[in-house]
Structure formats: C-alpha cells, structure tokens
Chain A
Amino acid sequence: MNNFLLDFLALGAIVSGILVITSKNPVISVLFLISVFVNVAGYLVLLGVGFIGISYIVVYVGAVTVLFLFVIMMLNLQLAELNAVGSEYTQNLPLGAILGSVFLFELTSVLPPVLGQSFSQVMLGVLTTIHSNLLGKTDYNNVNDVHLAFQSLNIDTAFTSTSGLQIQSIGAMLYTHAAIWLILAGVILLLAMISPIVLSMNRK
C-alpha cells in the first residue's frame, strides 16, 4: 500500500510539473504548481520526514504561491502573445534537446539502474555519442556505479532514541550543534526583510 501510494504521488508530481510548463494560462500554471507541492509534501510524509513535508505545505503553498500570483499580476501578460507558433517555436527546440539530454545523462548515471543495467549503459552511451558529436568533446569519463555512493536510509534513527519524536530531535540538534547555521539563516532572512522595503520605499 505504501509503495503504491509513493508511485502514485510521484506520478502526480511529474504530471503536474509537465502541466505547469505547458499550460496556456499562467494562473492555471500556478494551480498546477500547487499540485506539485502537495504531491511532493505527501511523498515526503510517506518517506518518514513528516516535519519537512508539513513545512512544505505551510511555506510553499501558503506563501511562495501567493508571491508567484503577485508576480503574474504585476507582469502585463497578453495571452495572445504568450503562445509561440511556427518558427518561434522550432527555433527553441535544439537548446531544449541539449538541456534535456544533459539532464537525462545525469539521471542515468547517478540513479540506480531501474530498468536494468544494460539499459542505463546504452542510454549513457547514446548521450555521450550525441554530446561528443554536437559539442566536439571526445573524452568522457563515464562514471559507473555512482549510485552506490548515495545510500538513502529510510530515516536516521540514531537521534530519535534520545528524544522520541522527530521534531524534538530536530530541535535538539538544530539549537546545539547547528546553532551557527541557524543564526546564519536568521541573517539571511533579515537581509530578505530589509531589501524589498528599501527597494520599494517612496523617497518624498
């Protein structure tokens, strides 16, 4: 049941992500962005990190989405000129293909081979050939078995034995061992608070 729900949420996140990019209306794009956030938050909760999942919903859906909507309100978008047709569309396809293949190269080399060892090696070989023909670089260090370096444990249970709940152990670590990073985060938030006020002040 857990695995089925994980796959379902991952599929929902991917489909929503595709619909964010391909929607014609920008507000519909933001709605699908909300759907991406909710799906990923559900995924994180099922993985065991409940605090991060709920904080995704509170921060992303609650505040970041509102800021996206403000940006859309402030841009003067004419819907007729948003849809690219004809040569305006095809002139962007080669760059899209290059970026997409770079992303595919990273995915197939870093993630563990899901569809079989030979499939990922064939994919890596194809992408390396394409890149060497297009960009002229012929020696690629094909990194194999990179995925062995990333062992994802389910949750790190070393700290929960002392304090019980997950959020308590986060608090115990954050305010003692990681205190300097917390204060650094506070300074970053202070900067983010001061700069828009200064930028948007009316000088009378």
Chain B
Amino acid sequence: MTTQTFFFIFIPILAIVLLGLNLIFAPHNPYDEKDSAFECGFHSFLGQNRSEFSISFFIFALLFLLFDLEILLVYPYVVSAYVNGIFGLIIMLLFFLVLTLGFVFELGKNALSIDSRQVYYVK
C-alpha cells in the first residue's frame, strides 16, 4: 500500500475518532445565551442588522472576477509561448489591450474608491 492510500484511509478515521471522543466525553449544557451569536455583548434587534454599504465593494468583487478570467486565458499562452511564436504574442497583446482599455476606464472613473464614512468636524 502506498503512502497516499494509507493517508486517504487513516486521516478520515483519525478525524472521526477525535470528533467522536469529543462527542462522548464533553459536557453539554446549553442555554439560550450560550447558543446565540456573540456580538460584543449587545443583543441585535430584528431590523437593525442591515446597514447601507457602498456599491464599490460589489464593483471590487466583479472586477476581480473579470481580471481573474483574463489571467486564466493568458495562462495557456505563458506556457506555450515558444510554440506560438510572434503571431501568438500579437494575439495575446491584442487581447490584453482590449482588457487594458477597460482597466483604464475604471481607473479614470475612480470606480473603486470607497467613500469614507468618517465625519470631519471643523473646530
């Protein structure tokens, strides 16, 4: 049996044994306050949990997805650059240029600036 097969069998058994030991031997006395989520000592009211947040957080995640896809499509070029030659390089640069246009647009519009919620007091 190889090491890999041994680990595949042994590690789930070990995890289940340790969890089972905790389940059998640990004391279990729950009450309401213990079960609820910890929120710095405060109790959260229904309807007070949501607050507004800036849309730029969402734009951050969306732009991460798009540039992630771009990297995923450039990665096969990186490992096959010798085979593709100059033609492949030009195609990759065209693809990169198209997406760099989008990047420049986003930089110019300051789309990722998160508005500060700090209030400035003038003394």
If A59-B72, A200-B55 touch, whether A67 touches B61 (CB-CB below 8 Å) is yes
- Residues A175 and B99 in contact, CB atoms below 8 Å apart: no
Whether A63 lies near B64 (C-beta < 8 A) is yes
Q: Which of B59, B80, B111 contacts A163 (CB 8 A)?
A: B80
Q: Given A175-B77, A196-B62, A200-B59, verify A182-B95 contact (CB < 8 Å).
A: yes
> What mask results when residues 78 to 113 of chain B are scored 1 for a CB within 8 Å of chain A, else 0?
111101100110011011001101110110010100
B residues contacting the other copy or chain, number (CB 8 A): 41
A200 to B112, CA, bound (A): 11
A62 at the interface (CB under 8 A from B): yes
Bound CA span A74–B58, Å: 10
B61 touches which of A51, A55, A70, A186 (Cβ 8 Å): A70
A9 to chain B, nearest CB (A): 15
B61 touches A193 (CB 8 A): no
The answer on a CB contact under 8 Å between A168 and B76 is yes
**Residue contact A64 to B65, C-beta cutoff 8 Å:** yes
The yes or no answer to B114 lying at the interface (CB within 8 A) is: no
B105 touches A172 (CB 8 A): no
The range of chain A's interface size is 35 or more
CB-CB contacts of A162-191 with B at 8 A, as 1s and 0s?
A: 110101111110111001001101110110
Is B13 engaged at the interface, CB distance under 8 Å to the other chain? Answer: no
- Hey, which bits of chain B sit against chain A, CB under 8 A? 50, 53, 55, 57-59, 61-66, 68-70, 72-73, 75-81, 83-84, 87-88, 91-92, 94-95, 98-99, 101-103, 105-106, 109, 111
